[in-house]
Amino acid sequence: TTTPLVTDAEIEAGRQAWLLDRAHVFHSWSAQDQIKPMTVLRAEGSHIWDGEGNRLLDFSSQLVNTNIGHQHPKVVAAIQEQAAKLCTIAPQHVNDARSEAARLIAGITPGDLNHVFFTNGGADAVEHAIRMARLHTGRQKVLSAYRSYHGGTQLAVNVTGDPRRFPNDYSSEGVVHFMPAYPYRSYFGSTTEAEETERALRHLEDMIVLEGPQNIAALILETVPGTAGIYVPPAGYLQGVRELTRKYGIVYIADEVMAGFGRTGRWFAVEHWDVVPDLLTFAKGVNSGYVPLGGVAVSEAIFDTFRERVYPGGLTYSGHPLACAAAVATINAMRDDKMVENAARLGEEVIGPRLREIAARHPSVGEVRGLGCFWSVELVKDRATREPLAAYGGSSPAMNELVAELKAGGLMPFANFNRIHVVPPLNTSDADVLHGLEILDAALDAADRHTN
């Protein structure tokens, strides 16, 4: 790296920032006195520097959003240029950064998703996609999968299918959850992937019929559920979901906030299964989070609904020039540097094979699954019973120890319940990816000590 060493003055400034944070910052998803947040002094590429000046390999891409790594010079320059030209403009006006971002996004999204409604992030993209579906169909209900995450705002957290929903669950009218396909822990007693696909689809059709298709506006599904565990859908499942939604006139919303923009080794994960949804939500990777941005890619049929009818919704910062300039530069940089292709290669040739070797050596590894730069290592106390190393929605001393070992080894991990996710930036070097996997391999000894 060309980055100079962290100075004592920077470390001292970081200490002051930490004290001010503890005095005045209210952190999300946290009991304020139980957290010890890490200070980040700098970041570059696939590395960050913590408050003590230690250099850590970012195997989390933060919240799985910095797909092009930190401080990409072309994106930083594009933001600076846009800032010098036009920092902000109300969304009813045309601006060149937004026009170009929309053209690029319409060009890479599949099928006839040709129109882009911009939001500030993923949760509001989900809210607007559901509103569009309800107005388009004149129906109210929304089907969503358990073991999913769709955002922290009121409706988005209610369609979410993980424990983060529970404290907010009081206004979930019209939201109905179904069981997703999950071959490793099948809810349907399946023993093969083909059986899982068939049974999960039969369950879904039963749910649609029992809920009344005439009442169901939308089905929202993460193409590869991310935060909840990186569940790669078994062959035929998503095609089946597409067929069922078409059969019953339900709007299919593919939530690609996490899986989109190259994460899985394709621009959008639906491409792996040749599925074209009616609406596709995105955020995170659209500009690697350099400036907040999200949106909904909209099909011609749904766009037609709002040609002569007002769409009742909007945001002050919809299509913000700085965010859109960052998106244009990000998409172009991803193309120039073939980052999507690189993510696919890393998954097939580096991460997948190496993780399978690691899994074979450690009794605490129940399953590894993923594609591209999107992998989950699911940890168990016992491989035979598949008892998780931490409960779904909980933590455990074993997981805490493992995370501490990973950090001590020089890694910034993404850990969730009984899983470690391997989700580095798509342009991480092979050497850094292998180094990170070595750290994981060594740290898993700590988890092994907690197996039966």
Question: What are the residues binding ligand PLP (CB under 6 A)?
Answer: 63, 121-123, 126, 149-151, 222, 226-227, 255, 257-258, 283, 294
Closest CB to ligand PLP among 41 and 258? 258
Q: Least distance in Å: CB of 245 to ligand PLP?
A: 18
Q: Which residues contact 262 (CB under 8 A, 6 or more apart)?
A: 67, 285, 334, 339, 340, 343, 372, 426
Closest by CA position to 43, among listed 289, 338, 340, 406: 289
- Shortest Cβ 75–ligand PLP spacing (Å): 18
How would you class 42 by CB atoms within 10 Å of its CB: exposed for 0-12, middle for 13-18, buried for 19 or more? middle
Rounded to a whole number of angstroms, the minimum distance from the CB of residue 9 to ligand PLP is 34
Q: Which residue is nearest to ligand PLP (CB)?
A: 122
The helix or strand, by DSSP H or E, that contains position 141, with its residue range, turns out to be strand 141-145
Give min distance, CB of 432 to ligand PLP, in A: 24
Question: Could you tell me the two tokens for 229?
Answer: 């565990």
Residue 23 CB, shortest distance to ligand PLP, in Å, is 25
Taking the C-alpha atoms of residue 138 and residue 398, their distance in angstroms, rounded to an integer, is 49
Nearest distance in Å: CB 122, ligand PLP = 2
Pseudo-torsion of CA 180, 186, 188, 194, nearest 10°?
Answer: 80
Residue 135 CB partners (closer than 8 Å, separation 6+): 305, 306, 309, 311, 312
Whose Cβ is closer to ligand PLP: residue 294's or residue 413's?
Answer: 294
Nearer to ligand PLP by C-beta: 126 or 344?
A: 126
Characterize the bridge pairing of strands 411-412 and 55-58: parallel
**Nearer Cβ to ligand PLP, position 49 or 117?**
117
Residue 416 pairs with which residues in a beta bridge?
Answer: 419
The distance of closest approach from Cβ of residue 354 to ligand PLP in the complex, given in angstroms and rounded to an integer, is 25
**One-character DSSP codes across 19-62:** HHHHHH---TTS-GGG--PPPEEEEEBTEEEETT--EEEESSHH
Minimum Å gap between C-beta 323 and ligand PLP is 12
Between 64 and 329, name the residue whose CB sits nearer to ligand PLP: 64
Alpha-carbon gap, residue 65 to 33, rounded angstroms? 27
Tell me 170's DSSP state.
Answer: G
Ramachandran region of residue 71, left (φ > 0), alpha (ψ -120 to 50) or beta? left
For ligand PLP, which is the closer residue by CB, 123 or 411?
Answer: 123
Nearest residue (CB) to ligand PLP, 82 versus 119: 119
Closest by Cα among 346, 369, 371 to 434: 346
Toward ligand PLP, which CB reaches closer, 151 or 180? 151
Q: Which long-range contacts (CB under 8 A, 24 or more apart) does 333-337 make?
A: 333/68, 333/72, 333/74, 333/75, 334/67, 334/68, 334/261, 334/262, 334/426, 337/427
Residue 75 vs 280, nearer CB to ligand PLP = 280
Q: In the bound complex, what is the minimum distance in angstroms from residue 296's beta carbon to ligand PLP?
A: 12
Cβ 337 to ligand PLP shortest distance, Å:
24
Helix (H) or strand (E) holding 144: strand 141-145
Smaller CB distance to ligand PLP: residue 105 or 258?
258
Residue with tokens 């822990």: 185
Min dist CB 187 to ligand PLP, Å, is 21
Task: Considering the complex, state which of residue 123 and residue 423 has its C-beta at the smaller distance from ligand PLP.
Answer: 123
